[in-house]
Structure 1
Amino acid sequence: MEFIRFDDAKRFAVVAEPVVEKQEDVFSLFYGVLQAIKAGKYDNPFMAAIMEGDEVLALLQMTPPHPVNLVIVDESKIDEVIDFIIQELNETAVTVTSVISLKQWATAFAEKWTAYTGEQQKLLMDQGLYRLDQVDETIEMSPGSWRYASMDDHSLVVSWYSKFEDDANLNRTPIERVNDIVKQFIESQEVFLWENEGKVVSMMKKSRPTRNGVTVSLVFTPKEERRKGYARTMVACGSMELLKEYNFCVLYTDMMNPTSNKIYKEIGYKHIADSIHIGFQK
């Protein structure tokens, strides 16, 4: 086996894209982030492939400080491949703070990482991955209408971005960085808002487009507006709009939150995979 690290995203894409395109929905996170790396949206990305001759055995991708994303191609060699990856990462002093992948792969990696490094593992998010091909238009919609966020909404979206991170048990992004991130989101028309009687009550975001699909993320409704159906309506209408351009939408849910899983199923999203995010600490 050979551990090949890539500095050129386009060269990495030649190796990685034929693999992830076979399951574009399941590997939408890896595929979508790769498109962003190719577009120069990340600094110092880590990209690697485990090869055996011309055969791809596994792919690794990381945009620090985010987790390493692992794709195993040949599951018959998973133990051997993960052992090899962990040895190479440690010998080349690559900093890995967490891993995200399909549940069985991330769990196997975390167990071996803990055994090799002595670091402790911590479950950060147990996720379900859902796919939507068509919105169920018979669902009851909440009053109001959607629109794209404008710069007039900047401060609101910044506030909700940080509250979303709190709800998801994520480390808060520095506010200066959030200001820049949200500005870019708004300028790219990626943020959808649901407005009722002149008040913005819910939001979602378009993320990580791939060849045929797009991810719905950053779904947030403030506590005082919850249990009114706004999130379900926002995601239903926003997804309907996205399906005018893409063949399918995907989204990740917190499996510990039965409410969100229920509302996405009502919209028409179907569970296609289980993903897990595991952190490491000394």
Structure 2
Amino acid sequence: MKWNTYTDLHVFKQKVEDFLLKKEEANNLILGILKRLVSLENVFAASIEKDETVVAAFLQTPPHSLVVVVDEQFSTDEIISYSIKNLKEELPSLPGINSTKTVSHHFAKEWSKLMNLSYRVHMEQCMMACDQVQPIQISEGTLQIAKPEHASLLTDWLLEFVEESDLLPVIRMNAESLIQQSIQGENLYTWSVGDEIVSMVNKTRETKNSIGINQVYTPPSHRNKGYASSAVHQLTEQLLKQYKSCVLYTDLANPTSNSIYKKIGYKPIEECSHILFSQQ
């Protein structure tokens, strides 16, 4: 096997893109990150080749976890052991790993033992994809592109969403920036009843044939009325006119949201684990 690290984003993309597109929906996270990057400054990127064929790709944008994609047709044990041997030298202060459940847990066990670290599962998720929406009861209201005058409220909602979802903390300044960028890019949508917005949903990580949906949030005072389900349904239906599929991550610990997405037409395609490391 051959280990490659990259200093040029374009070379990395050229090397790994075809490999990642073989499972485009499942690899939406890393493909979406790659599309947003303009350079590899302060970013770690690597690949493993076997007989001149890419069998694994690695990407980390600090301070986030390392995103790992492994071709599981090959020996996962061999690829993980080989990657850890090289990562020990090149990325010793790894905060965590985000990959399929099998890869994440195997990697975490070996890495923590080698580096004398502890590890914990931050979140078990399921990647789901939809290529055709199913009919559901649509609640009162309409889907609209978020407006600049709603930025402050939607920033509050994003912070509440992060806290409730047990995602890694986001400071308000960063949340404000994320909301402003999403509004300017016309990526953030609201579900509105009359003049009142009652839920939000965001489109993200566009790839060649698919696009992601995230930040689905309804504040407690407006829940149990179907607003989020309706927003996701309508946005998915709209996006499927342009893309072959929509993808989203669900928290496996939340059976309610999983059930709702399945009714809309989303089907499970991959279980993923986000694991964090810490000093013992």
Q: Give the TM bin, normalised by the shorter chain.
A: over 0.9
Alignment of 1:142-157 (within 5 A): 142-157=139-154
User: d(CA) in 1 for partners of 2:74 and 2:258?
Assistant: 32
Alignment of 1:229-268 (within 5 A): 229-268=226-265
CA drift of 1:179 comes to 1.4
CA drift of 1:101 comes to 0.7
Unpaired stretches in structure 1, ≥5 consecutive residues: none
Would you say the 8 A contact 1:128–1:252 is kept in 2? yes
Q: Cα deviations across residues 24-73 of structure 1 (Å, max 9, x unaligned)?
A: 11111111111112x45x85221100123412221101111111111112
User: d(CA) in 1 for partners of 2:215 and 2:150?
Assistant: 15
Tell me whether 1:103 sits opposite 2:92 in the alignment: no
User: d(CA) in 2 for partners of 1:78 and 1:266?
Assistant: 34
Q: Cα deviations across residues 83-127 of structure 1 (Å, max 9, x unaligned)?
A: 221121122244311111111111111111111112111111110
Alignment of 1:164-179 (within 5 A): 164-179=161-176
Say what the alpha-carbon RMSD is for the aligned residues: 1.4
TM-score by length of 1: 0.95
Would you say the 8 A contact 1:151–1:186 is kept in 2? yes
Quote the residue 1:200 is aligned against: 197
Quote the residue 1:211 is aligned against: 208
Q: Which amino acid aligns with 1:78?
A: T
Total equivalences in the alignment: 279
Quote the residue 1:24 is aligned against: 24
Structure 1 residues 228 and 74: alpha-carbon distance in aligned structure 2, compared to 1, 3 A threshold: closer
Q: Where has structure 1 moved over 6 Å in runs of 4 or more?
A: none
Instruction: Give identity over the alignment, percent.
Output: 32
The answer to which of 82-91 and 146-155 deviates more is 82-91
Quote the residue 1:226 is aligned against: 223
The answer to which of 89-98 and 161-170 deviates more is 89-98
User: d(CA) in 1 for partners of 2:64 and 2:41?
Assistant: 12
User: d(CA) in 1 for partners of 2:58 and 2:172?
Assistant: 29
Unpaired stretches in structure 2, ≥5 consecutive residues: none
Quote the residue 2:187 is aligned against: 190
The answer to which of 201-210 and 57-66 deviates more is 57-66
User: d(CA) in 2 for partners of 1:111 and 1:156?
Assistant: 42
CA drift of 1:2 comes to 2.5
Would you say the 8 A contact 1:43–1:63 is kept in 2? no
